[in-house]
């Protein structure tokens, strides 16, 4: 990298866990990031970034950036640290790890990471070879779509399925639990164009958010009841002869069983579960079946309840019932990650099996840290790319565990997050412009390259360099750690795969991005003639994997089917009522906690501009629910259940239905009055499939504070 005087621009990539994976134009002036904007040439980015990222230079040069390794000098959580050198930090870690491994074995060390950075080099799998090399406990990462991805693979197989750009050709677009305008902004122009061409846009969501406002029809469903709606839609489609019998006969397994199975799920029955009108359910099913082509964009919240995985399966069955796959712009859009020929197996190295090493689901971190799990005690926690003190349920147990004086915690971070505050050693991490990476995308079909553009801020290092250093210090001889970034990238993808034809690393470095070699969006209907990637090659309405026990989705330990109690999944998608909502009269409100518009999960929750934009933690409450509790707009309220209480400002609005409350996630616990944020209210119970979380089945009560 050459830093020169004066101003120059580079093409880079937004590193965030966001489906849009924007191509960025970065202006560097005198060796510093000056400005970022969206790349106007990129067919998906189309020139704009988003509200979170427009002032990215402030993020890079924030006075709060961690710039050197730090060692704790005060009590846990006090935030008292002193700078130390990298050598000292690595020595401290190696000494403790050797001692822990000798005394309690490597499983007493628990790594913890997610997608703070989504790059192929520095993202999800970057630490796996190191920790697997030591034989530590394995951290199972299922809290973002693990359930719905499993449902998808069970029903359709690992197929890219739909090019998001082809939504311009859709005539009926169902946005099912996705706040596109906040969370997938760059998809919106494609939907808007379809709408301008006459498509009807339907939003199914408990919240009338900014996306629902723009829809032609908003169905305000009760949280956790989507399976009832999808099953009743199938009931109507079969009962009224709206199914595409030819597609069913040729490209599905189990249509007759499914048709019989859904006879019980009438619109009247589903109306009781969902809070929707039976006639609206019929209309939705009829319009969806009649439109050519119809499209469903499914968001992550579907999976987050007792029947959430089954809801996702039912939704993934729908396009086959009406033959939507026949057309460009027909089918279902979840995430087209499967289009990218990433060698996940090589990136994370050989994964130990469940009978070889302890696997700890990330959702159970609080339990793991407070001695509630089998196996050796967790004596050390290593966190990178994640902020569990904010993003996972059971916040009180997580904070209590992190406060253990005997827990040796290492955190690699940009900022002193609620998690890092409890560390013994904090290690400074680089941001996008300070490191090389290549991005796949879970929202479009382009690879995007990001070159290092500036010197690292302070002594920060990229995640892959962090693990090179740790591997050397721990004496791991895995040759992976001696590879350069380019050498790692050479192995990270199957560059000879057909969809990589014409794409080289050199080309990506020059042009910034490249569309996978797949048909252009206007000709992309990959399942027009079937060819699904399930074991049968067909849409498995009856799943052959359901009874199969322990398959691991080919993506980084996400998605292991099986009900919470370990019993097999039903062969056909099946209804289960919410577990918590409606079960206890003391907690009559259903709480959801969707994403914050101005934060990226918990990131930017410490930045003034984004905090201003997002405002304080707010609870959206229906006017009737507010009135019956004597709560006025702007009042301080206490939101509580048996797990705990959080404080918020009441936002009295009919954007939510009576009986439902919404409190976005992302605010830091430390920045919240009372020291807890919304995940203090959520349970660590799993959903039905893939050990997904259950944010959409949380019961609370609210009172004036």
Ligand X SMILES: Nc1nc2c(c(=O)[nH]1)N[C@H]1C(S)=C(S)[C@@H](COP(=O)(O)OP(=O)(O)OC[C@H]3O[C@@H](n4cnc5c(=O)[nH]c(N)nc54)[C@H](O)[C@@H]3O)O[C@H]1N2
User: Does residue 375 sit in helix, strand or coil?
Assistant: coil
Does position 22 interact with ligand SF4 (CB under 6 A)? The reply is yes
Is residue 688 within 8 Å of 564, Cβ to Cβ? yes
Name which of 16 and 327 has its Cβ closer to ligand SF4.
Answer: 16
Residue 108 near which of ligand X, Mo ion, ligand SF4, none (CB within 5-8 Å, type-dependent): none
Does position 369 interact with ligand SF4 (CB under 6 A)? The reply is no
Q: Which positions ≥6 away from 172 have C-beta within 8 Å?
A: 199, 200, 202, 287, 288, 291, 293, 294, 295
Of 65, 71, 115, 68, nearest to 92 by C-alpha is 71
Shortest Cβ 152–ligand X spacing (Å): 14
Does position 33 interact with Mo ion (CB under 5 A)? The reply is no
Does position 604 interact with ligand X (CB under 6 A)? The reply is no
Is residue 524 within 8 Å of 166, Cβ to Cβ? yes
Name which of 524 and 668 has its Cβ closer to Mo ion.
Answer: 668
Four-residue CA torsion sign, 395, 689, 361, 429 = negative
Shortest Cβ 418–ligand X spacing (Å): 9
Name which of 317 and 592 has its Cβ closer to ligand X.
Answer: 592
Residue 386 near which of Mo ion, ligand X, ligand SF4, none (CB within 5-8 Å, type-dependent): ligand X
Shortest Cβ 255–ligand X spacing (Å): 25
| Binding test (CB under 6 A) with ligand X, winner from 150, 220, 273, 385 | 385
CB under 5 A: which stretch of 40-48, 137-145, 224-232, 537-545 binds Mo ion? 137-145
| Binding test (CB under 5 A) with Mo ion, winner from 36, 121, 144, 681 | 144
Of 295, 304, 374, nearest to 144 by C-alpha is 304
CB under 6 A: which stretch of 25-33, 100-108, 281-289, 414-422 binds ligand X? 414-422
Q: Which of the residues 42 through 101 are near ligand SF4 (CB under 6 A)?
A: 49-50, 52-53
SS (H, E, C) 160-198: CCCCHHHHHHCCEEEEECCCHHHHCHHHHHHHHHHHHCC
45, 46, 49, 55 alpha-carbon torsion, rounded to 10°: 130
Does position 258 interact with ligand SF4 (CB under 6 A)? The reply is no
Is residue 674 within 8 Å of 616, Cβ to Cβ? no
User: Residue ranges of the alpha helices (H) in 297-394?
Assistant: 308-322, 344-348, 365-369, 388-391
Please tell me the distance from the alpha carbon of residue 98 to that of residue 230, in angstroms, as a whole number.
53
323, 326, 332, 336 alpha-carbon torsion, rounded to 10°: 150
Q: Which of the residues 118 through 157 are near ligand X (CB under 6 A)?
A: 122, 143-144
Name which of 22 and 248 has its Cβ closer to ligand SF4.
Answer: 22
Q: How many CB atoms lie within 10 A of CB 403?
A: 13
H or E element at residue 436: none
Q: Does the bond joining 149 to the residue before it have cis omega, within 30 degrees of 0?
A: no
Residue 226 near which of Mo ion, ligand X, ligand SF4, none (CB within 5-8 Å, type-dependent): ligand X
Please tell me the distance from the alpha carbon of residue 387 to that of residue 112, in angstroms, as a whole number.
9
Could you tell me where the beta strands, DSSP code E, fall in 250-301?
A: 252-253, 294-298
Does position 696 interact with ligand X (CB under 6 A)? The reply is yes
| Binding test (CB under 6 A) with ligand X, winner from 45, 155, 170, 463 | 463
Name which of 11 and 321 has its Cβ closer to ligand SF4.
Answer: 11
Please tell me the distance from the alpha carbon of residue 497 to that of residue 274, in angstroms, as a whole number.
45
Site pattern 594..633 for ligand SF4 (x: CB under 6 A): ------x---------------------------------
Q: Could you tell me the CA-to-CA distances from 451 to 294, 296, 303, 506 in Å, in that order?
A: 39, 35, 36, 12
Shortest Cβ 635–ligand X spacing (Å): 22
Name which of 18 and 311 has its Cβ closer to ligand SF4.
Answer: 18
Question: How many residues lie near ligand X (CB under 6 A)?
Answer: 60
Name which of 174 and 342 has its Cβ closer to ligand X.
Answer: 174
Residue 21 near which of Mo ion, ligand X, ligand SF4, none (CB within 5-8 Å, type-dependent): ligand SF4
Residue 589 near which of ligand SF4, ligand X, Mo ion, none (CB within 5-8 Å, type-dependent): none
Name which of 48 and 376 has its Cβ closer to ligand SF4.
Answer: 48
| 690 dihedral zone (left: phi>0; alpha: psi -120 to 50; beta) | left
Residue 422 near which of ligand SF4, Mo ion, ligand X, none (CB within 5-8 Å, type-dependent): none
Residue 425 near which of ligand X, ligand SF4, Mo ion, none (CB within 5-8 Å, type-dependent): none
Does position 678 interact with ligand X (CB under 6 A)? The reply is yes
Site pattern 156..195 for ligand X (x: CB under 6 A): --------------------xxxx--xx------------
- Report long-range pairs for 274-277 (Cβ below 8 Å, ≥24 apart): 274/221, 274/222, 274/225, 274/226, 274/228, 274/229, 275/220, 275/221, 275/222, 275/225, 275/657, 275/659, 276/219, 276/220, 276/221, 276/229
User: Residue ranges of the alpha helices (H) in 15-85?
Assistant: 56-60
Please tell me the distance from the alpha carbon of residue 690 to that of residue 522, in angstroms, as a whole number.
34
| Binding test (CB under 6 A) with ligand X, winner from 33, 148, 204, 454 | 204
Shortest Cβ 433–ligand X spacing (Å): 11
Is residue 431 within 8 Å of 64, Cβ to Cβ? no
Shortest Cβ 203–ligand X spacing (Å): 9
User: Does residue 645 sit in helix, strand or coil?
Assistant: strand
SS (H, E, C) 588-622: CEEEECCCCCCCECCECCCCHHHHHHHCCCEEEEC
Name which of 223 and 526 has its Cβ closer to ligand X.
Answer: 223
Of 463, 494, 486, nearest to 125 by C-alpha is 463
| Binding test (CB under 6 A) with ligand X, winner from 163, 226, 434, 580 | 226
| Binding test (CB under 6 A) with ligand SF4, winner from 185, 332, 335, 553 | 185
Shortest Cβ 300–Mo ion spacing (Å): 6
Please tell me the distance from the alpha carbon of residue 591 to that of residue 659, in angstroms, as a whole number.
9
Site pattern 16..45 for ligand X (x: CB under 6 A): -xx---------------------------
Shortest Cβ 257–ligand X spacing (Å): 26
Residue 14 near which of ligand X, ligand SF4, Mo ion, none (CB within 5-8 Å, type-dependent): ligand SF4
Query: Largest Cα–Cα distance of the chain, in whole Å?
Result: 72
Residues binding Mo ion (CB under 5 A): 144
Residues binding ligand X (CB under 6 A): 17-18, 52, 114-117, 122, 143-144, 176-179, 182-183, 204-207, 209, 221, 223-224, 226, 299-302, 305, 384-387, 391, 412-415, 417, 429, 463, 592-597, 599-603, 665-666, 678-679, 682, 695-696
């Amino acid at each position: 990298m050459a830093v020169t005087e004066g101003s120059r621009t580079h093409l880079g990539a937004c590193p965030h866990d966001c489906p849009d994976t924007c191509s960025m134009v970065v202006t560097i002036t005198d060796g510093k990031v000056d400005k970022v904007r969206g790349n106007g040439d990129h067919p998906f980015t189309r020139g704009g970034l988003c509200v979170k990222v427009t002032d990215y230079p402030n993020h890079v040069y924030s006075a709060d950036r961690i710039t050197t390794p730090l060692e704790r000098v005060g009590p846990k959580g006090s935030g008292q640290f002193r700078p130390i050198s990298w050598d000292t930090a690595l020595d401290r870690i190696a000494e403790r790890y050797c001692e822990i491994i000798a005394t309690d074995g490597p499983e007493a060390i628990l790594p913890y990471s997610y997608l703070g950075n989504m790059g192929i080099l520095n993202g999800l799998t970057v630490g796996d070879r190191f920790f697997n090399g030591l034989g530590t406990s394995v951290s199972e990462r299922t809290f973002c779509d693990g359930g719905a991805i499993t449902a998808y693979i069970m029903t359709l197989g690992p197929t890219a399925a739909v090019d998001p750009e082809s939504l311009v050709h859709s005539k009926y677009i169902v946005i099912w639990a996705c706040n596109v305008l906040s969370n997938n902004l760059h998809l919106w122009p494609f939907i808007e164009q379809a709408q301008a061409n006459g498509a009807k846009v339907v939003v199914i969501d408990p919240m009338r958010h900014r996306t629902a406002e723009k829809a032609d029809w908003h169905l305000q469903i009760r949280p956790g009841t989507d399976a009832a709606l999808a099953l009743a839609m199938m009931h109507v489609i079969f009962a009224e002869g709206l199914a595409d019998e030819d597609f069913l006969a040729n490209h599905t397994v189990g249509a007759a069983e499914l048709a019989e199975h859904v006879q019980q799920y009438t619109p009247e029955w589903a109306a009781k579960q969902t809070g929707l009108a039976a006639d609206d359910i019929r209309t939705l099913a009829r319009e969806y079946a009649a439109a050519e082509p119809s499209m469903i964009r499914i968001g992550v919240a579907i999976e987050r309840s007792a029947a959430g995985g089954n809801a996702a399966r039912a939704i993934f069955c729908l396009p086959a019932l009406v033959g939507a796959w026949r057309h460009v712009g027909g089918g279902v859009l979840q995430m087209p990650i499967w289009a990218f020929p990433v060698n996940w197996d090589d990136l994370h190295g050989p994964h130990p099996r469940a009978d070889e090493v302890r696997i700890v689901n990330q959702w159970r971190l609080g339990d793991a840290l407070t001695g509630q799990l089998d196996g050796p005690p967790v004596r050390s926690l290593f966190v990178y790319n994640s902020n569990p003190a904010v993003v996972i349920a059971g916040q009180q147990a997580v904070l209590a565990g992190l406060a253990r004086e005997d827990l040796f915690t290492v955190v690699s971070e940009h900022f002193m997050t609620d998690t890092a505050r409890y560390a013994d050693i904090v290690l400074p991490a680089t941001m996008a412009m300070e490191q090389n990476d290549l991005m796949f995308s879970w929202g479009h079909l382009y690879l995007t390259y990001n070159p290092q553009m500036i010197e690292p801020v302070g002594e920060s290092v990229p995640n892959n360099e962090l693990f090179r250093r740790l591997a050397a210090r721990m004496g791991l001889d895995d040759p992976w750690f001696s590879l350069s970034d380019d050498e790692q990238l050479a192995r990270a993808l199957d560059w000879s795969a057909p969809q990589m034809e014409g794409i080289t690393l050199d080309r990506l470095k020059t042009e910034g991005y490249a569309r996978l070699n797949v048909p252009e969006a206007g000709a992309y209907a990959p399942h027009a003639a079937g060819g699904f990637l399930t074991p049968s090659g067909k849409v498995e309405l009856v799943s052959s994997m359901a009874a199969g026990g322990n398959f691991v989705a080919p993506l980084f330990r996400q998605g292991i089917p099986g009900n919470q109690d370990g019993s097999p999944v039903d062969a056909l998608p099946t209804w289960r009522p919410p577990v918590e909502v409606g079960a206890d009269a003391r907690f009559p409100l259903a709480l959801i906690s969707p994403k914050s518009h101005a934060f990226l999960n918990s990131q930017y929750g410490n930045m003034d501009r984004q905090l201003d934009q997002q405002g304080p933690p707010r609870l959206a409450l229906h006017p009737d629910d507010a009135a019956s509790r004597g709560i006025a707009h702007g009042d301080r309220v206490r939101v509580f259940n048996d797990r705990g209480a959080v404080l918020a400002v009441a936002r009295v609005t009919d954007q939510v239905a009576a009986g439902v409350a919404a409190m976005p996630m992302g605010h830091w616990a430390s920045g919240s009055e009372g020291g807890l944020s919304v995940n203090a209210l959520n349970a660590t119970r799993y959903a039905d499939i893939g050990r997904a979380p259950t944010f959409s089945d949380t019961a609370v009560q609210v009172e004036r504070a």
